[in-house]
Amino acid sequence: MAKSRSDLRVMIDANILIAGSVWPRWPYEVLEHAQRGDFKLVLSSFIIEQARRHINRRFASGRARFERFLAVARYELIAELPVEELKGFFGLTRDPTDVPIAAAAIRAGASYLISEDKDLTTHDDSTTRLRQQVAVLLSGTFLREVMGWSSDQLLTGTSKSKLMSSDVIILSARFPLSVVTERG
């Protein structure tokens, strides 16, 4: 029997967490779906710290929004795997620095790992073992294939949950990073 969407466990990597909490585009929409309870968001302490370091270094203006997201978001936090345990996961990705992310997704029983990192999302021999254990998708692919977005929604970045008028787009109030923007 297929899992309902609310039974899905979805892990995102640091680049999705950063982009989703700083810019309103597809990674943001993935986080919006998590906040609505469309799936269970799973994060590891490794991913959060990786995202925090990168935001502090490169996107300081987004730090407050990132921390606010972490403070109010509904997610399951899993611990970082010990180094000895990680050794059994080497070879899952072509970039060894991505092994803690891949291993965490597998250990957490994630249905999907959402990433924009080509070392995780490429479909070649370097990720075969990983893809046998968890579906790895780009954020736009996840929105289309799992969340049911249409091509038009992907092009406009507009989910069904947004209230639209000709002048204003109001993003879902459930996500604390929501903003009101004028359409140009």
- Domains along the chain? 5-156 (3.40.50.1010)
Question: Which among 25, 33, 24 is positioned nearest to 73, based on CA atoms?
Answer: 33
* pLDDT given at position 1: 37
What mean pLDDT value characterizes the chain? 82
> For 105-141, what is each residue's pLDDT tens digit?
999 999 999 999 998 898 888 888 889 999 999 999 9
pTM value is 0.81
Q: pLDDT at position 168, please?
A: 27
Q: Given this model, what pLDDT does residue 156 score? A: 82
DSSP codes of every residue in the chain: -PPPGGG-EEEE-HHHHHHHHHSSSHHHHHHHHHHTTSSEEEEEHHHHHHHHHHHHHH-GGGHHHHHHHHHH---EEEPPPPHHHHGGGTTSSSSGGGHHHHHHHHHTT-SEEE---HHHH--SGGGHHHHHHSEEE-HHHHHHHTT---HHHHHHT--TTSEE-SSEEE--TTSTT--EEE--
Give the span between the Cα atoms of 13 and 42, in whole angstroms.
Answer: 10
Which of 90-94, 157-161, 164-168, 172-176 has the largest mean confidence?
90-94
Task: Indicate the pLDDT class of residue 158, thresholds 50, 70 and 90.
Answer: low
pLDDT for residue 21 is more than 80: yes
Lowest mean pLDDT among 10-14, 63-67, 126-130: 126-130
